[in-house]
Structure 1
């Protein structure tokens, strides 16, 4: 069969058939007396094999290897195809992400486009210092794609770079809550931690409080802690159980105690917090260190009820707890007397002469 006939029957152009011949993929078995290529039935079957493999995304070089290597099994070929396809999809998703980030920045000219591309390259650097520099060295009037920063926040493992990214994200004013909220629901614990910490830095954003409230129930205590501290800063009493748990387990317990102190400015919340801390003090499995942390947290609440509790704890059978409670009773009394003392009593007034 001559090349023209093969082209008509196979749908492969004569130019491509000549290219296959030059590469050694499909060489015609014979030649006519006039020197024209003549293809056998076996040659035509091989052409169809080549075309079939091309539709799967293989390069001509890969097809040549598959057809010539006896050890190259179909299962190996399919496995390679899966791996190559995944790699290609990853590259294409990354390209799409970059294009969307550039589009979101609404570039006015090519200089804006190049600025975003430069930021992307900086964020992709292997050096943490270089990534941090890429975030902090942006000109103040430069448009920073908030979505790009949000994506970087969710993947950044270096704490210094992550801090710079959260700062830049908060300054960007972009609407990225949907991206961060999706991160807060990730199966990856580290991604959830990064997402909630970023949202904690922008609790005033519409919908942020709801995401943080959901995060209070996260199975990871670090995620719940980030959310609780952020919500407590805005007077949300829903954070109380998580904050008390942080004191009990010694996770950022000083910050948690201070947050409870802030919430206790509401008398109703103060009673609730005092009761929760007192219940934990009486828990049968509370060891000495835990009870001391709870005593210290009670001091942040203050008030007559707390002084009464500390008076009782000053006689506790656990000597360490009793000593801490006794010392803190004195602290509360000094604080109370200082609040009640008239201005200037017991201290010099800066505006009075000798």
Structure 2
């Protein structure tokens, strides 16, 4: 059953994956309105609920095993739905096992270091799921669309030549490979929003008073560079989707579908790791049995000595009885 579920999830996200080595033209290759044949939002909501339950189970195992970590990078244009995706997809997960980091304009301290320094500081620990709300890819997106930002990074002249972007792609790929080699799986999601849907979301932020705080005039200035960003995203996806850290282009015009896809991508990554609960030694089991007997002796009069074990036994008897009735009915 688990294998069937893993295969279904892999099949569901396959159209979203950027195959390593392919040249991407974002507008032609990926439709922001795609929804994989899911007709109704309520069906998507149910899929998301199942996905959240699955993620919660795998996150508990990841934390217990304490061997691997997962880094999920979320990129999108303004109003792409990053915050909502994080809030819904991670809603059922123990907050202690999740680390979310957002990256804004670099500080003076951050500019005094190499461009990956501030991202390295926010990496998850083993047993954790880390989410970058925007990520190190800002260094080949915003900085590429606005190359004057390279001046603020105080790079030596030799590092500012025409090959700066190809070099950064290579350095990012090498860094992610290093992380994977050391047990930290990297998965990257680009929320692909159409220009028209962005316009509508901007208008909603203006028209609904409770959303005014989310809108900035800078958002409109960046929208004017739409074509530049589309080219930068296409080049980034082409150069940095690798076997060890693939990109998934998630259709984002429908928020509910984007959340289903993001949950599926993260679940696929965790299922590939397949973390297991630690093995308990025979000595530890004997110690647990002794503690259990002591706790059972403390049960108040008239109360079950071990309610959990009693309930588990009851469920097992019901399951066994149901199986017998089913077999008996087959003979008639």
TM interval, shorter chain, is under 0.3
Q: Looking at both structures, which has the greater relative contact order when contacts are Cα pairs under 8 Å and sequence separation is at least 6?
A: 2
Report the structure, 1 or 2, having the larger strand content. Answer: 2
Report the structure, 1 or 2, having the larger helix content. Answer: 1
TM-score of the superposed pair, with normalisation by structure 1: 0.21
* Higher-Rg member (1/2): 1
